[in-house]
Amino acid sequence: FSWQFRGVASDHVNTFMLFEREKMLAVMETMLGSLESDEVTVTRCRQVLTLWITGLDALARERNSSELLPRVHPHSSGQT
C-alpha cells in the first residue's frame, strides 16, 4: 500500500507533520472511501475510528502532550 501525491509514484513525504484530530479524520475518510465493503461495515468502522481518534486527541490535549499522536517525521518519512 502506498500513498501517491499528485498521482506520481516517485513523490516523497519528507516533512514533520503531526496528525491531530482534523487531519486524522480526513485520512480516515479517504481510507474508508477506498474500502470495498458493505455500508454497514464502513459505517461501523467510521464510528469506532472516530471515537478512537477523538479520544486520543482529547487525551493528548488534556496531557498537553502530542507524544500519543501519530506523526510523520523527516527521519522516518520517505518515498511513498
DSSP letter for each residue of 7-39: TBTT-B--S-EE--HHHHHHHHHHHHHT--S-H
Predicted confidence at residue 11, as pLDDT, reads 58
pLDDT tens for the chain, 80 residues: list them. 345 556 666 555 555 677 788 888 998 999 999 989 999 999 999 999 999 999 988 998 899 888 877 776 555 555 44
Q: Could you tell me the residue ranges of all domains in the chain?
A: 17-72
pLDDT of 50 reads 95
The pTM score is 0.65
